[in-house]
Amino acid sequence: MTDKLLLEGKIVSSAKDLTFPNLTEYIESLHSLKEIEDKYVSALRKEGTIYHRLYANKLIEYQQAVRNFDNLFLLESDFLKLKRHLFELKETEEIALPISLTKRRKNFIGLNEKIRLTLLKALDNPYDKTASLSQILDTLGFRIIIGNRNNGSQDEQNSVDTCYLILNAVIMFFIDLGYTPVELNFNKEDFNHADHPDVVLPSNTATVLPGFKLYVKDYVKYPKKNGYQSLHVVFKTDTGLSFEIQIRTHAMHYRAEFEKANHDGYNYEKYKSVKIIFDPLKTNIMGYKAILDSNKKLIIMDQIGLTSSDIADPFNVIF
């Protein structure tokens, strides 16, 4: 287990003593994402510590996942099947709420920051099961967002409860396709409802089916301290491909992306060294382009997963 390796290999005294090669230099001097990945893996291995080697191994795992076109084509096909399944579910369960379905791949910078953050947290808390590289399973994923009747930013009980109906149906759907759900480490945080009056908790009748509870991070019933809510479930195939499904309401999504429920804020503030900052205008990588428009606004067009893209996701489905 990664946690045991990190504990036994503890050769730096604290998180503040763990540093990484400067990824920005590779981004601004090389000309392809593959070259950046390969060179950076090599640089990590030269550092020699268990932390850097595990970091390198996680990047290699990422490379193998996104370069295995058979796996990606399979996931693409099942994405379309999921779209049809949700459409049929809306009819059979008489769900009148709009549903948004998207698929995404974690961008390269975000992945690196998450690996760094996990290593630093594991160093500070080696017995924390959530601080494990084995728990980074969201490189590929689907996101299902349930809207409100009035399309407002405030949750309704019906939309919150519908998250569970869809979750249970989606788990059964992927099991029937031959996928295996992954048992997840889930720590309930000390959430104070009085600090987040806009958060709506599920009713007593809305719940994860008993047989599925080990496979679900239920942040809807047990929100994070900052008010973050979402349902997370991860699946693996026999080929080693893993992907995460997140289910949330429109209001939960808005809080997570743009307000105080942004779940990375606290950790990134505590571990500032994980932030990878580079000048987008200095990059010269095939499939990536950054320009300033006439109003000096930065426009990024990214097809390689280096950073977040302004390009609309053509697979976003609302029905």
Domain 2-318, classified CATH 3.30.420.130, yes or no: no
pTM greater than the 0.85 cutoff: no
Burial (CB < 10 A; 0-12, 13-18, 19+), residue 180, is middle
The packing angle between helices 50-67 and 33-47, to 10°, is: 160
Instruction: Enumerate the domain spans of the chain.
Output: 2-318
The Cβ of residue 106 has, within 10 Å, a number of other Cβ atoms equal to 19
Q: Under a CB-based contact definition with an 8 Å cutoff, are residues 319 and 99 in contact?
A: yes
Q: Could you list the pLDDT tens digit for every one of the 319 residues in the chain?
A: 455 555 455 555 565 678 899 999 999 999 999 999 999 999 999 988 888 999 999 999 888 877 777 878 888 888 899 999 999 999 999 998 999 888 878 889 989 999 999 998 888 887 777 788 888 888 888 899 998 876 667 888 999 999 999 999 999 999 999 999 999 989 899 999 999 999 999 999 999 998 899 999 999 999 999 999 999 999 988 777 789 999 999 999 988 887 765 655 556 667 777 889 999 999 999 989 999 999 999 988 888 888 875 544 444 545 4
The Cβ of residue 262 has, within 10 Å, a number of other Cβ atoms equal to 15
Q: Under a CB-based contact definition with an 8 Å cutoff, are residues 55 and 20 in contact?
A: yes
